[in-house]
Structure 1
Amino acid sequence: MFTTTGSRGLDKAPLSKGLLLVLSGLTVVLTLLPQYHHLFTYSLQAITQQQQVWRLVCGRLICLDLKDTFCNSLLIYNFRIFERRFGSRKFASFLFGTWVLTALMDFLLAEAFHYLFDYQVAELPAGLLGPVFSLFVPFYSSIPKVPVTQLLGQISITNKSLVYIVGLQLLTSSPYMWLVALSGLISGKLYHSNALRVQRLLFLPRWLSRVGAFLLEPLFSGLPPPNDTPLGMGATLDIQRQQRMDLHDQQMLLAQFNQARRNHRPPQDGLMNWNRFFPSLRHRGQNFAPEPQPHPSPQQPHPSLTALAPTAPPLDNTPVAEEQVARLMEMGFSRIDAQDALRASNNDINVATNFLLQHLG
Structure 2
Amino acid sequence: MFTTTGSRGLYKAPLSKGLLLILNGLTVMLTLLPQYQEMFVYNLQAVIQQHQVWRLLCGRLVCLDVKDSFCSSLLIYNFRIFERRFGTKKFASFLLGTWCLSALMDSLLAQAFEYLFDYEVEELPAGLLAPVFSLFVPFYQSIPSMPVTQILGHINITNKSLVYIVGLQLLTSSPFMWLLALSGLISGGLYYSNVLWLQKILFVPAWVAFIGRYILEPLFSSSQPNNETPVGMGATLDIQRQQRMDLLDQQMLLAQYNEARRNTRPQPRAGLLQWTRLFPSLRQRGQNRPPVQAEAQTQPSSQPPLLDNSPVAEEQVARLVEMGFSRIDALEALRASNNDINMATNFLLQH
Normalising by structure 1, we get a TM-score of: 0.83
* 2:274 is the alignment partner of 1:273: yes
The secondary structure found in structure 1 opposite 2:157 is strand
* 2:27 is the alignment partner of 1:27: yes
Alignment of 1:228-239 (within 5 A): 228-229=228-229
CA contact 2:137–2:185 (8 Å) conserved in 1 = yes
Higher mean C-alpha displacement, 170-179 vs 201-210: 201-210
For residues 60-110 of structure 1, the C-alpha deviation after alignment (integer angstroms, 9 at most, x for no partner) is: 111111211121112212222222222211111111011011111111111
Aligned counterpart, 1:348 = 340
Could you tell me how far 1:298 is from its partner in structure 2?
A: 4.8
CA contact 1:253–1:279 (8 Å) conserved in 2 = no
In 2, the alpha carbon distance for the partners of 1:298 and 1:210 equals 57
For residues 279-337 of structure 1, the C-alpha deviation after alignment (integer angstroms, 9 at most, x for no partner) is: 636997x8x757766334553169xxxxxxxxxx9360252431433332343322222
The secondary structure found in structure 1 opposite 2:294 is coil
Aligned counterpart, 2:43 = 43
Alignment of 1:156-235 (within 5 A): 156-229=156-229
Count of matched residue positions in the alignment of Structure 1 and Structure 2: 346
Normalising by structure 2, we get a TM-score of: 0.85
Could you tell me how far 1:237 is from its partner in structure 2?
A: 8.2
Aligned counterpart, 1:112 = 112
Distance 1:64 1:201, change over 3 A: same
Aligned counterpart, 1:258 = 258
For residues 128-172 of structure 1, the C-alpha deviation after alignment (integer angstroms, 9 at most, x for no partner) is: 011111112222223333344443233333333322222111111
In 1, the alpha carbon distance for the partners of 2:150 and 2:242 equals 22
In 1, the alpha carbon distance for the partners of 2:238 and 2:270 equals 43
Aligned counterpart, 2:300 = 299
For residues 37-81 of structure 1, the C-alpha deviation after alignment (integer angstroms, 9 at most, x for no partner) is: 112111113323443221111111111112111211122122222
Distance 1:64 1:314, change over 3 A: farther
For structure 1, the 5+ residue unaligned runs are 303-312
Aligned counterpart, 1:84 = 84
Identity of aligned residues (%): 72
Q: Which amino acid aligns with 1:274?
A: W
Q: CA RMSD in A?
A: 3.2
In 2, the alpha carbon distance for the partners of 1:217 and 1:86 equals 16
Aligned counterpart, 1:339 = 331
Aligned counterpart, 1:95 = 95
In 1, the alpha carbon distance for the partners of 2:279 and 2:39 equals 55
Q: Which amino acid aligns with 2:339?
A: N
Higher mean C-alpha displacement, 168-177 vs 148-157: 148-157
For structure 2, the 5+ residue unaligned runs are none
